Structure 1
């Protein structure tokens, strides 16, 4: 009989010592434990205080990743990772998927499309070739139109969670339980899906065991890049430790394997009959509901009284979400299903008080996009009707235990306004204030602001002097052109952080009939790789003819991009070009990217802060 390997109790790896490409697997971590994993192409390194995964030339699982372990499976053992995925929408393309597809330099083509690009969690092997089948992990999945989808790999398959994940740092936390795994995540202030660290959002429960007595904490990458554009993944810290308070029911508000009227739940109180079914009243609103229903049955939440609540009903012929409000039932959405009365189904609801993400056996119910519903958002009652089992309710947010903290994301903003011209009345002296810095385009007055009339595909930049070289916070309300009936309308307008012609950062909107994105372009030492543009798809936030507020903060080493106050893109300059020095910001201003023509975007406001 094969003996088990000696196990490890905990890990803390902050990647403080640089390691060359190809030498990370087998190197010693900060805490003295050997880093395991696989690096088939010698693309993993440690540099500038973080682990770096460079894009694989041949994509696929089992070729790139690091792992720690083995660990003995025990309740309360938590694996935390603070990281920035290279691109959440990384994916390969089916070979021959379009007439111009094979012309995309650097794009990956395969007979079978590879959508899942990242897996972070617990696995039964330190270099798994099938991490989605042999692990319980967060998974990032590419998407045809959105900026990727966050999923979890469970014992019974892939479970969809959140669509449109901006390219910003995320803290992933995966906690082992006596049976199964719990998943949590946190990010930046203003993130539409996740709370700001050190707060985390409970996101999923896997009630089943992996079946391994010993497991490995791993981070695996299968592919990086989209449409030929690539950028490295960075991991800032890894922590594995036992949280004693999570060895029982963890963060749950309600737990009951066999709910029964009049009986005390395992956690959460005594089930009482009230209106539509049997009810419990936790102390705070639930954010994650996980239950097994056999039709006909219902999950009830946001319950105030018999006339005010939400209900997800599985009938024999459909799934239906209804709102009971003031004694009237409003069917919000319904979807046809033929449910067998003998077959239970796993239902999960994510509820942040404003939006609902509902899945049935791991697949989105009522469409991929969240259902916006804020009514009764602060009510706490939870109920069941019909045959139900294995109910768990977790809060909308929890606090990350101090023992698992791995630092805070960079999110600085300017506090003092330096320059805020009134662009709506573009007097001659205001136009003179902006100096032509690059390109032959002309800054002109336009209705409601200023516009740059550019010559062809040339980058055009107009700037003002800047006396604060280590921080600039630029904000502009930009009105993309209206949709034109006879020619394509395009927006390529944005802002610029300028050191000189050889060193500058441009961040612009990228809007036309096929693309809705925010794109950053860095020129360093005179070099600008067109395939190192870093972007985030924002299909629900950019429209032709609709003004939008673009805000970019840069300290010369890193930058954060906001669209209507939501963080959508973060990068350090050395993430794009390894070894890049600080950008000394000497001038700031307005810009057209030079990648495709801008057909008449208008800068309506412009604010510079330090």
Structure 2
């Protein structure tokens, strides 16, 4: 028995304001025919589709890879809208590859064509070419070849593109460069760390976090009279974001004042080093929401810091100010002190994940800072900025420790500066005007449950204003009707194997639980059971495992399987020439199956999980879908791989974190569901083969 997990985010009582745009892409449209059509609510779909590769199918917008990368070539937009506080855009999207980059494709072009022809070497190449001729995707292959030819080192004359997706509010329906336009979120290719999420702050891009995985993400951008607030959410356990129906505040832009804006989703490039996969936009909604129109929006502590009294009264949000040092006075232009230094805090009763402050320096800039994770005057964190630079300080039992210092970024006289803290998922980021300070994030459990936040400043004529702190998570607005990302877990164990007992080959062995025996369904390689709780791929550095091998068990529930296994890559460190290519397989027949396998190799700094699909007897090697995992998979360290799959939708988990999420129709829109007839272990070829990975604790649930 399996249980579908679905979180209700539908409209609740009292949420009756009609959206200005609600596009759920329920109208199928062929590639090149989307721009200029109307959404169900009547909004016109603006944007650009230079290569005529935008389509709608299976309830989602489809961006297909461009032959020529660049902005102003592929995107959808709505508007224009006049800026006002509370105008909110929400987008649900699965980006094709967060690592997508536009650059010359390495290696000789003839060698690449040869590799395409032979594929993973599981079938003779003549059979592959016959299968390709019979398969329904020849037009996409020809576009791929043209892309490769135009992307050789000799032919590629364009700038390199490392930013691939932009979502937000821009000054035109096809922005020339979203990195310097409007209030938007941008996905930056982070190579081994997969994706990096940026937000526009002033004239810079703030790096919110890295290791953004290839999963469905909900983004929300709420405009203010000046600037915007950015939020992100995904399924439970996803790195860097909150779990639906909550969302994580990830940045504040206090500067942008564009009066007329378009809501848009724009793709610059899809794919990397010759691989490709489509982006899917599941829904776009635009609406005025009163909760975001209020001063400071979703903040739980905030104060404009203006007035004409001492800062010892009730804040606008978050309770009563406690002045712990010096005296702080409100003025019409912000708070200041005449003392050597002063500090005040608020206690909103919950930890803050986003803290922001504007600093007006005047002619003689002194120093100002943000306090957070505070308990009292002897225990807190402080980000301090001055004309001499910025410092991150930890105060424990009254003892101050300098954690980091940045002398390159500093306050300037007669300027307005933005100070910002991101503190969520155990990671601290500090920012000045959108620039990440200290060139790194910090991980620290010190005072992680501290709930007080506040301000710090010393003498001079510097003034502080518009202080605000937001919780680490806030509720998604009930007016925005997004479905939770799909996930489904099996409850009943059908097969389980702890690989204990008699040593020998895996083929023919009865698992610990289940009524059938393992068989080698494909390949010529071997997996051996050691009798002590492990099944080892027969392979060494000198004699690696020969290509792809699949060991499977029968499966009688063709519409769902939940597989889990623990894998230990061979070796103990980089540089030992060991490779891991181990994983799981869902099998229909020898013409249709999916393998999900790890890639760990000396040649690339970072690991991945990759899906290779064989459909209609043809495996398009360069349609592999993967996600980079940085150090989650490492030599000699066990990791748990779990995949849930219903014949169409799948989610991949590594050590409980969802790292990749897709629908097979995202890859091939016309393909039928896969009927699951066998499940099991896979050892793959992926530009190299396995040198001795170890499987343990295999479980198959239904």
User: TM-score w.r.t. structure 1 length?
Assistant: 0.93
Q: Give the 3 Å change call, closer, same or farther, for CA 90–101 of structure 1 in structure 2.
A: farther
Matched, 1:32 2:42: yes
CA positional deviation for 1:243: 1.1
Deviation at 1:411, TM superposition (A): 1.3
- Structure 2 Cα separation of the partners of residues 333 and 103 of structure 1: 48
Aligned residues: 599
Report the counterpart of residue 444 of structure 1 in structure 2.
Answer: 528
Shift of 1:495: 0.3
Shift of 1:205: 1.1
Residues 501-547 of structure 1, C-alpha deviations (whole Å, 9 max, x = no match): 11111001100111411111111111211111111111121111111
What is the CA distance between 1:327 and its match in structure 2?
3.3
Among 355, 359, 365, the alignment partner of 1:289 is 355
Q: Does 1:384 align with 2:430?
A: no
In the aligned structure 2, how far is the partner of 1:351 from the partner of 1:134?
27
Deviates most, 13-22 or 452-461: 452-461
Instruction: Determine helix, strand or coil for the equivalent of 2:220.
Output: strand
1:111 shift after superposition: 4.4
Alignment of 1:563-582 (within 5 A): 563-582=654-673
CA drift of 1:424 comes to: 4.1
Partner of 2:551: 462
CA contact (8 A) 1:238 1:406 kept: no
- Length-normalised TM-score, structure 2: 0.81
Q: Post-superposition shift, 1:431?
A: 4.4
Matched, 1:362 2:434: yes
Task: Give, in angstroms, the shift of residue 484 of structure 1.
Answer: 7.8
Output the CA distance in 2 between the equivalents of 1:161 and 1:526. 43
Superposed, 1:41-60 pairs within 5 Å as: 41-60=51-70
Name the SS for the 2:622 alignment partner.
Answer: helix
Write out aligned runs for 1:155-174 (5 A): 155-174=202-221
Which of 306, 312, 315 is the matching residue for 1:262? 312
Question: Is residue 2:562 matched to residue 1:473?
Answer: yes
Tell me the secondary structure at the aligned position of residue 145 of structure 1.
helix
3-state SS of 1:575 partner: helix
Partner residue in 2 for 1:539: 630
Structure 1 residues 15, 190: CA separation in 2 closer, same or farther (over 3 Å shift)? same
- In the alignment, which of 240, 243, 249 is matched to residue 196 of structure 1? 243
CA contact (8 A) 2:199 2:205 kept: yes
Q: Which moved more, 1:371-380 or 1:396-405?
A: 371-380
Tell me how far apart the structure 1 counterparts of residues 697 and 55 of structure 2 sit (CA, whole Å): 43
Residue 154 of structure 1, CA deviation: 3.5
**Cα distance change of structure 1 residues 278 and 102 upon mapping to structure 2, 3 Å threshold:** farther
- Give 2:650's aligned residue: 559
Q: Against the structure 1 CA distance between its residues 347 and 70, is the aligned structure 2 distance closer, same or farther, given a 3 Å change threshold?
A: same
User: In 2 relative to 1, CA 210–340 (structure 1 residues): closer, same or farther, beyond 3 Å?
Assistant: closer
**Deviation at 1:181?**
1.1
Judge conservation of contact 1:469–1:584 (CA < 8 Å) in 2. Answer: yes
Q: Is the 8 A contact 1:413 1:473 kept in 2?
A: yes
Deviations 1:249-285, CA, capped at 9 Å, x for gaps:
2111233343663355443344331157112222322
Match of 1:139 in 2: 186
Instruction: Specify every segment of 5 or more residues in structure 1 that has no aligned partner in the other structure, as ranges.
Output: 1-7
Q: Does 1:371 pair with 2:442?
A: yes
Offset at residue 99 of structure 1 (A): 6.6
Quote the residue 1:238 is aligned against: 284
Q: CA RMSD in A?
A: 2.4
- For 1:597 and 1:425, the matched residues in 2 are separated by 28
User: Cα gap change, 1:280/1:530 in structure 2, threshold over 3 Å: closer, same or farther?
Assistant: same
* Residues 36 and 484 (structure 1), Cα distance of their counterparts in 2 relative to 1, 3 Å cut: closer
